[in-house]
Structure 1
């Protein structure tokens, strides 16, 4: 993600501003409950208030921020129950998607997944790069399923995941475990084993959910 508009002059400032805010959420620098104002954002990035306003409105449309009278916008809070619901929806969607993917994927698409997997293996110590590659891996699976409605739902769920902050792959043990699960999934796809792919994806996402809910519980214990 881009952190300063001057690095992306070809992009509209509102888009760069939007991506900057998304990146801050993903890194845990902008967390649930924090306020963001047009003026503060404009000052931070050295832009006018108009693109800052447009970026915040887009985030509001995405459901990532809510209007806070007299204080601008506030990052929406995602509690334990809603996080659980989000992961349940993700499991249902991606398990169904990979089952379809196994019947439609071609050898070139499998090779692309293997390339992404290799890049992830080389990036275990870089959680931001791991998160980006992991998204690309799951996005490639959805694309291989060739179902536009599943793809649209996937995007909505992954936007909401931004509210949870840093990826669970920041935990090196989880990152290495995830790589094994990805390899098992690729093997199922090579065999065109739709039921096996569904099972592996279910285990993969269940493990991610377990880590995420543990993190939330710990924050509740710590009082944050």
Structure 2
């Protein structure tokens, strides 16, 4: 029997769990998380064929939970299922990026407007702390990328619309198939930081319309950088 993947404890067929209860996460969800991480890290490159047999052997599982995991990733836009050809990591076209950024600009700019109106002083302080990390991470691109994402997601949480959070989370997964390239474009990191400074100033000033307009402009600039990457 193939060695089990360390993060994927697997039951043999028909074997009951010792506790008699289901685990906290279904096996296919664990597999989906593993594959999602590899796709977003480009370990599985855009456009590459996903070898189900090899992955099932690597993880020490049957192909059933693997196929369920691929369905989850297909619903998120990270995997494309092709008739009689199997599953492929999604390739993001310029049109895909333009459409994703267009929706992000609409949704996140409105979130910035709401956050400027309703954020508590403690929440503004929290956003400032994340922004300070952006400032200090300008020479560390991976750290900058992580702090940038935390800032945007925290802003969405403050705006407090769970449907928007869910939609933006899925859009950002697709965006990340190309996002690092656009952030790494010459000068884009520094420009992104300047845009964040203005957004943060508008949030502190409780200027809702300016926060909205600046966030929209920020994401439009990201779209342009992605198109040129």
Query: TM-score band, normalised by the shorter chain?
Result: 0.7 to 0.9
Structure 2 runs not aligned, ≥5 long: 10-23
- CA apart distance, 1:125: 4.1
Structure 2 counterpart of 1:78: 92
| Inter-partner Cα distance in structure 2 for 1:5 and 1:125 | 35
If you compute each CA radius of gyration, which structure gives the higher value, 1 or 2? Answer: 2
Aligned-partner Cα distance in 2 for 1:64–1:171: 23
Q: Give how far 1:79 is off.
A: 1.6
Q: Which residue of 2 aligns with 1:104?
A: 118
Quick check: 1:143 aligned with 2:157? yes
Residue of structure 1 equivalent to 2:6? 6
Aligned equivalent of 1:51:
65
Match of 1:6, SS?
Answer: coil
Residues 72 and 159 of structure 1: CA distance in aligned 2, closer, same or farther (over 3 Å): same
Cα distance per residue 1:120-171 (max 9 Å; x no partner): 3333344333333222111111111122332233223213213335353334
Q: Which runs of 5+ in 1 are unaligned?
A: 216-224
TM-score, reference length from structure 1:
0.81
Looking at structure 1, the residues matched to 100 and 116 of structure 2 have their Cα atoms a distance apart, in angstroms, of 24
Find the aligned partners of 2:95 and 2:40 in 1 and give their Cα distance.
20
Q: Which is helix-richer, 1 or 2?
A: 1
TM-score normalised by the chain length of structure 2: 0.79
Contact 1:26 1:166 in 2 (8 A): no
Query: Could you report, residue by residue, the CA deviation over 1:180-202 in whole angstroms, capped at 9, with x for unpaired residues?
Result: 22222111111100111112212
CA RMSD across the alignment: 2.6
Are the equivalent residues in 2 in contact too, given 1:120–1:134 (CA < 8 A)?
yes
Q: Is the 2:40–2:173 Cα contact (8 Å) retained in structure 1?
A: no
